[in-house]
Structure 1
Amino acid sequence: MPTDKHPQRRTGPKETSSVPRALYEKELYRLQTELVVLQEWVREEGKRLVVVFEGRDAAGKGSTIKRVAEHLNPRAARIIALPAPTARERTQWYFQRYVQHLPAAGEIVLFDRSWYNRAGVEHVMGFCTPQEHQLFLRQCPAFERMLVEDDILLRKYWFSVSDAVQEERFRRRLEDPTRRWKLSSIDMESISRWEAYSRAKDDMFVHTDIAEAPWYVVESDDKRAARLNMIAHLLSTLPYRAVPGRSLRLPPRPPGTGYRRPPRGLQRHVPDRTRSLGS
């Protein structure tokens, strides 16, 4: 049976930020407004924008993606967070399952983890063979050069979090029933395999930090600062401009024609529980 007695959302120490909340919210809204301008430019010019979000577990990727997409038109801005590959997908060319999610003209795609799974979790956890890992490192730069040569705007961000902050975020997720779903056994393994992930990331950067599609590192121990810095940087790398908007005006409401609403008792209404809150 549901209950009105909920546990505290956060029982561990609260993260602090160098950015005061009022300043953060003001700047975030300004940047989100610019993202809407960017999306209109992408639509008007028929551009294709791909933004890759990578980093360790609990590095703040998901919360940043949420802020990026919050006010965008979901019909033209998609978040792609793929599950583990199916048996069929495991027999395909590795990049094939990602290609189908690339944007068409006027669209933005935000990858919440991407093809770089093979350079990170798959490699460290043994989900791919050493040969498959090396093949990925050879093919990835060529794959991304093809995207850029085809006029796809590709931006890649690595969210860097310290071991202490990652562990504290894991702890808070364990204590919060609304966020516990974010944790998995693989997340727990990332604590004991910290150095293995570090080596994998360094190797990945050596092979895939190319001039056509460079990596940009976001320091993310401070989540508020990370979100603002990442969005501001993304905007600064794109030659977007404000697109003249359509002139819209509310039409006058026409006079009534005698319509009468059916009696409320003929319909099923959701009970108003808000009146009992706090009593």
Structure 2
Amino acid sequence: MAGKKGPRDSTPAKRLPREVYERELLRLQVELVKLQEWVRAEGARLVVVFEGRDAAGKGSTIKRVAEHLNPRVARIVALPTPTERERTQWYFQRYVEHLPSGGEIVLFDRSWYNRAGVEHVMGFCTKEEYWRFLHQCPLFERLLVEDGVLLRKYWFSVSDAVQEQRFRTRLDDPTRRWKLSAMDLESITRWEAYSRAKDEMFAHTDIPEAPWYVVESDDKRSARINMIAHLLSTISYHEVQPPPLELPPRPASTGYQRPPRTLQTYVPAHAASLVEGTGNTA
């Protein structure tokens, strides 16, 4: 199995220093832009699958991967619950619709592996549907790879203690409360069921053509750096020289006059009110 590891160390993950993290993240994000331009120039198709337990750090990593990329080239796909119509389709059909065309990158924030995880554990699919998925998934992914799709699959691994800590933080943070659902909380009581489901999934879908890569994510900073660095290392891209650009000289005025400001409705200066009377001009 790709990305094999020994028993998990119970020692808390040492956090990567912020200065080191931010410096290396910026360097890697510059490389991601180079990768993007190579994908566009070569007409390549790149699919990156992000999977893992709730609060494992998938979303924050996807955010850093896509932060400086062109949204017309790199798309994030996070599908909602399937509709009644979609439930009658071939399971992979709704995901095929979102696969990249030439010159595109697709980042799946969860993917077809929902069936091997939450759907199986929570009883949202039948046993027949579950085992059919485990049989068909390697076939489906081999077809993608044989057709030239660059498929990379990452599993974000988080300990039970860190997951619970992140859940508690979300409960208390109004900006992240939306990330927490009743189903997320139920994953605490079904920890071992999800572990068995993940092991079964790996046994069937960790194939040479599309191996799983495990990202230790108790320290989110390290997880982001490790995942992005690994992704870049798996693709033989090169820097594509952009066409030369030069700012043209601004032409002389031809007499245009801006309409009076009183004729337009402006947004109130809320920012200015924050520093009024403080003497802060920085």
Q: Normalising by structure 2, what TM-score?
A: 0.93
Partner of 1:160 in structure 2? Answer: 157
Q: What is aligned with 2:69? A: 72
The answer to whether 1:134 aligns with 2:134 is: no
2:144 equivalent among 139, 142, 147: 147
Is 1:52 aligned with 2:49?
Answer: yes
Q: Render the CA deviation track for 1:78-137: whole Å, top value 9, x for unaligned.
A: 000000000000000000000000000000000000000000000000000011000000
Residue by residue over 1:134-165, the C-alpha shift from the partner in whole angstroms, topping out at 9 and shown as x without a partner, is 00000000000000000000000000000000
Gaps of 5+ in 2: 1-11, 278-282
- Please tell me the root mean square deviation across aligned C-alpha atoms, in Å: 1.1
Deviation at 1:20, TM superposition (A): 1.0
Could you tell me which residue of structure 2 aligns to residue 238 of structure 1?
A: 235
Task: Report what 2:93 is aligned to.
Answer: 96
Partners of 1:103 and 1:157 lie apart in 2 by 18
Q: Given residue 28 of structure 1, which amino acid in structure 2 is its aligned partner?
A: L
Contact 1:17–1:224 (CA under 8 A) maintained in structure 2: no
What CA distance in whole angstroms lies between the structure 2 residues aligned with 1:266 and 1:17? 58
The residue number in structure 1 matching 2:9 is none
CA distance in 1, matches of 2:42, 2:178: 39
Which is further off, 17-26 or 123-132?
Answer: 17-26
- Whether 1:197 and 2:194 are equivalent positions in the alignment is yes
The question of whether the paired residues in 1 share the 8 Å contact of 2:13 and 2:218 is answered with no
- Determine the C-alpha separation between the residues in 1 that align with 2:14 and 2:98: 35
Q: Could you state the TM-score of these two structures normalised by the residue count of structure 1?
A: 0.94
Alpha-carbon shift at residue 277 of structure 1 (Å): 1.3
1:170 to 163, 167, 170: 167
1:273 and 1:16 mapped to 2: Cα distance?
Answer: 42
For residues 250 and 122 of structure 1, do their structure 2 counterparts lie closer, same or farther at Cα, with a shift above 3 Å needed? same
One-letter amino acid matched to 2:263: L
Provide the rounded CA distance (Å) in 2 between the counterparts of 1:21 and 1:188: 30
Q: How many matched pairs? A: 265
Secondary structure of the equivalent of 1:257?
coil
2:249 match: 252
Residue 29 of structure 2 is aligned to residue 32 of structure 1: yes
